[in-house]
Structure formats: structure tokens, C-alpha cells
Structure 1
Amino acid sequence: MQTVSEAASAAELTRSLNAWFRLEARDLPWRRPGFGAWGILVSEVMLQQTPVVRVIPRLREWLDRWPTPADLAATPQSEAIRAWAGLGYPRRALRLHACATAITESHGGVVPRDVDALLALPGIGDYTARAVAAFAYGERHPVVDTNVRRVLARCVDGQGEPAPPNARRDLAAMDAVLPADPSEARVFNAAAMELGAVVCTARSPRCDACPVADLCAWRGAGAPAYLGARRAVQKRYEGSDRQARGILLRALGSARRPLSTEELEPLWPEATQRDRALSGLLSDGLVASGPDGLSLPD
């Protein structure tokens, strides 16, 4: 349970951060009035591993083509995969297609607002379920992503970086500072994310521009160096299995007909890696094998 001083500090933090957000927040499509629950769900899936600047135009294209879950559900999986090209991690396209199908079949084509119902949808995890409930429907739920975890670690815990992710601990930490009023809680969820994305960044935090610098426990302690476990360094993309998978998948999507393994050989000459990439695509359901060769799934 929070002490009186802790509650006062949390209230001051939320007031200051919400006021800053209302003045300084980036104008992003999913933050605009009237942006529906389906659009927010799609945006959250796209944003999971893709920068905002790449998501915005592709989100617009996606929603123009499939403005409702039923529209996407009525389309072959192959078209969703093709439309995802360039966003990376194309399994998200399959999960979103499966999600749209479940919403259409089990919820009358309306994205549910209940977190448990959202969690029951294919490919929807704890973060996305809470983000949709909070941002689309105004429900009071803590929403925690990497940026929020870093803001909490610094502002509240006085640590330069957050500890390894732990859903129960992280949600409890955010809930402890989340305003009781649902509308203010919705703003604070977005504000904490925004602060972590543009000010309280991982490598070069702009503390002089931070609206809650005076409340930050890490800054108050002199911004001590982080001594905990380091994040894993992302592997190079060039020459990786990810690059091989992407090249092969794009070729199959462009062909619009089955291709033989012989036709794919020139695209990635290293046979062992090519075979491994194709095996992974087949295992993930992104590619189907038929009597005439390999193609995107229908």
C-alpha cells in the first residue's frame, strides 16, 4: 500500500506528465478523436516491432483496404501477407488476420472492450489487450511497454534502466501511479509512452527537456550508471536468416503463382541458409507447399 507521501508524489507525477502531454504530444493518427477500436488494434500490432514513421502510411493503406475486421477476415491470408511487406516480422499479418476472423465470428465484427475477451483473440497479448481497452474504450488499465518501463525505472525507482520484463511486477508498478479517473489514466498511459519515446530515451535521455525532471528519482540521485543485466544486442540483418526469409517471401508474394525450389535458388545462393529460411516460413504458416511448388497461403 502506498504511503501518503508516495501517493502525493504519484499524483504530482501524473498531473505534470499529463499536462505536458496535452501540450506536446505528437499528432499521431491513433490519437485523434474518432479513431476506432479496429484501427487502434491494427496500429498496436504494427507498432510492436516497427518504427512509427514507417507504420503511419502503411496503417492508412491497411485501413483504407480493410476498414473493419470482417473486411480483412473475408480476404485470403496471402493478401494480408502481401500488404504487410516492408513492415517486418510478417507473422504479425497472419495473427492479425486470425484475430479479425475471430472478432467477426465471435463478436459480431466488433472489437471487444473487455481485457479477457481481447486476450482470448489469436495473437493478442497482455500489452495489446490493455492498450486497446484503454485507448479505444477508455477503460482504466495500466499499459506497459518498453518506454513505460524505462520511465518508471528512472522516475520512480531511481534506476538508469528497468529490470528484465516481468508482467505482474510491471503492471503493478504502473497501476500504483495510474490516476483513478479513467480519462486521466488513459492520458497518463499515453504520456508515459510518449516521454519514453521522445525524451526519456534509452541512450541519450534529454533530462533538460523533461517535464518531470524535478520529480525523477534517478536524476535526483545524480543519474547513477546502470549496473544491471544488459539487453541483448540485436543481430545484424545483412546476411541473416531474417533477410533470407524476407527475400524469399517477397518473391513468392510477387509471383502470384507457386514457385519451385529451383526458381528460388538464385535469390539466396547459400543452400543451407536458404533451406533453413524456407523451413521456417513453412513452419510459421507464411508459406504453403503444394504439388506445383511453394506459395503464400490462401
Structure 2
Amino acid sequence: MSSVPAPAPAVDPGLPDLHRAVTGWYDVAARDLPWRDPDCSPWGVMVSEFMLQQTPVVRVLPVWRAWLQRWPHPADLAAASTGDAVRAWGRLGYPRRALRLHAAAVEITERHGGRVPAGHDELLALPGVGAYTAAAIAVFAFGDRQVVVDTNIRRVQARVVSGRALPSRSLTAAETRLAERLMPEDDALAVRWNQAVMELGAVVCTARSPRCEQCPVRHACAWVAAGRPEPAEAPRGQSWHGTDRQVRGAVLAVLRAGRDPVPEPHLTGPVDVATGTGLAPEPLRALDALHGLDAPQEQRRRALDGLIQDGLAVRGPAGISLPG
């Protein structure tokens, strides 16, 4: 007996109202961000997507502007050194993103004529571009109809549709299917819907202090209807002080602050940073900050080894520096 395919889920008759409410709110409440400008290039959108991963907009804005002014096209970045990319990344965090963006710029320059490819599969093949980033670039740079599911969208879906305070810790297949079901059929409306739900989660339906009184769909929110129950598992803040990540960042800050190599003992040994280092003022201040953490020598060595392993620093005859 042959099996019969399961019928496609019916479209919720309330979806058009939901689409109108959320996109209408977005039309009047959206933040004025440069990568949303219709004149922003696909490269500008791509840079924003790399920078915005796990990083607030307020920190990204000045770095994005400086980056696009310095490297307005992929070929401009491809011609620069990876060290320049890491240095320009500044204090955005997760600096391996700078290496991946540089590698993507090289690939775009060599294989795509210097233009960010519009196809989802071509985007997905670029270095450092995962499923979310490929979908986001396709949607926001080229108006493609793709399902974009970031943390903000997942949280809105969890509350409005599923009645849960927070989504699961990692993306599930059920969440992706729900995002697909909620998507408008019209391509242009689907782009606005993705932008609008993401914005709603970022500025209203936030994780810790949601502003339900400002929400355009609070009347239809399953979580509000249920009395806003507490999450089954409280969100955990990311620890920072004393972690390897903090020490890695402090070591990298010393390397970013100057152009000359830094002798390895200055970074990992019990150095008196006030005198005798021979460093210029800016690297010296960064070195002072590193030693001010009182991190054990073993932790500083581990941080430095990790940076070298990740390609963010190199050992040379004169010491440690950013990659060339």
C-alpha cells in the first residue's frame, strides 16, 4: 500500500492581521540604521551581519561606518592584510569574525568579480557564512524570500505563538517550521516581516524586560494571555571578569595598539609594565591594562596560544604581532 504524503498545514486565518500589525508598527517605530538604507550596498549589509552577531547595535555602528569608509568594496578589504582587519575590528569582540569576513572578501573578489553573490547557495559557500547569515544577506540585501531565524525572532515566536517566556537554548526544527508557517507569501512583505519581527524582539519583546504595553500584538500574544509565566529556565548572563575571553581580549588589545611586535615575556611574564618595556605609549597602556587583570601567567600563556592557533596573532623573531 503506497503512503500518502501528509497535507501541508493550513494557513492561519489570523496571519494577515498579524503581518499588518507587526509591519505597520515597524514602519513607524523602526530604528534608523544605515544598513537598512535602500542605498546601502549588499557589501554593507554583509558587513553588518558579520558585526551584529552577538554584538549590540550601539557598539557596531561606529565600527561599521569606519569599516565601510575604509573598505567600501570587498576588493578593498581583500587587498588589506588580515592584521589590518583585526585591528579595525576594534573592541567588537569575537575577532575571528574579522578573519572570516576578510576571507569572504577575498573569495568574493576572486570568484564573484568583486560583487556579493545574490544566490543563497553561493552565499552559504562563502567563508564564515552560515545558514542564518546567508539567509539574512539574501533577504536584506537582495529582497529574497528566505526564512531568517535569529534570537529575537525566536523569542517573539515563543511568546506570541507558543506562550513561552523564552525559546529553547538552541534553534530547533520546530521553531524553523513555525517561522516558515508565519512567513507571508509575498516576497516584499516577507522581507518587511523578517525585519519587523527582528526589530520587535530587539527593542520591545526583549529577554529580560519586555515592554508589553508598547507591543503591537499584545492582544494576540499567547504568553500575555497566559499571565506572562516565568521561563522554565532562567536566562544566564555571560560571565566575563576573570575568564579566558577577557584575558584573550586584553592580550589582543596590546597587539592592536601598535605596529611593532611585542616581546612575548611582556605578555606572559611578570613584567613591570611601568618601565623597561620600550613600548610606545598606546601599547604600554594596553599592557598595563592586561597586567591589571592579575591573570595568572598560565592563563595569559593560554590566551596567547589560543590567539596564535586561531590566526589572530603570530610569533616572529622580534615577538608577537597581528598577522601580516
Cα offset, 1:118, TM superposition = 0.8
Are 2:228 and 1:202 equivalent residues in the alignment? no
TM-score of the superposition, structure 2-length normalised?
0.87
TM-score normalised to structure 1 length = 0.94
Amino acid across the alignment from 1:56: L
Deviation at 1:230, TM superposition (A): 4.1
Match of 1:242 in 2: 245
1:35 is the counterpart of 2:61: no
Aligned counterparts of 1:57 and 1:233: Cα–Cα separation in 2: 25
SS in 2 for 1:294: strand
Report the residue type matching 1:33 in the other structure: P
Match of 1:286 in 2: 312
- The structure with more helix, counted as a fraction of residues: 1
**2:74 — aligned with what?**
69
Give, in angstroms, the shift of residue 203 of structure 1.
1.2
How far apart, in 2, do the equivalents of 1:18 and 1:26 lie?
13
Name 1:158's counterpart in structure 2. 163
Structure 2 Cα separation of the partners of residues 246 and 155 of structure 1: 38
Moved more, 183-192 or 249-258: 249-258
Once residues 258 and 72 of structure 2 are traced to their aligned partners in structure 1, the CA distance between those partners, rounded to angstroms, is: 27
**Pairwise CA distance, 1:96:** 0.6
List runs of 5+ in structure 1 lacking aligned partners. Answer: none
Give the Cα separation in 2 of the matches to 1:114 and 1:231: 36
User: 2:107 is aligned with what amino acid?
Assistant: A
Of all paired residues, the percent bearing the same amino acid is: 52
* Partner SS state of residue 186, structure 1: helix
Cα displacement (A) at 1:168: 3.5
Higher relative contact order (CA 8 A, sep 6+): 1
In the superposition, relative to structure 1, how do residues 54 and 234 fare at CA in structure 2: closer, same or farther (>3 Å)?
Answer: same
Aligned to 1:116: 121
Matching residue of 2:111: 106
Conserved in 2, the CA contact under 8 Å of 1:11 and 1:177? no
Distance 1:127 1:167, change over 3 A: farther
Q: What is the distance in 1 between the residues matched to 2:20 and 2:245?
A: 43
Structure 1 counterpart of 2:170, one-letter code: P
Partner Cα separation in structure 2 for residue 233 and residue 141 of structure 1 = 31
* Aligned-partner Cα distance in 2 for 1:38–1:170: 29
Residues 25-69 of structure 1: CA deviation (Å, up to 9, x unaligned): 111111111111100010011111221111111111000000000
| Structure 2 spans left out of the alignment, 5+ residues | 1-7, 272-286
DSSP 3-state at the match of 1:8: coil
State the match for 1:259 in structure 2: 262
Q: Which has the larger radius of gyration?
A: 2
1:146 to 132, 147, 151: 151
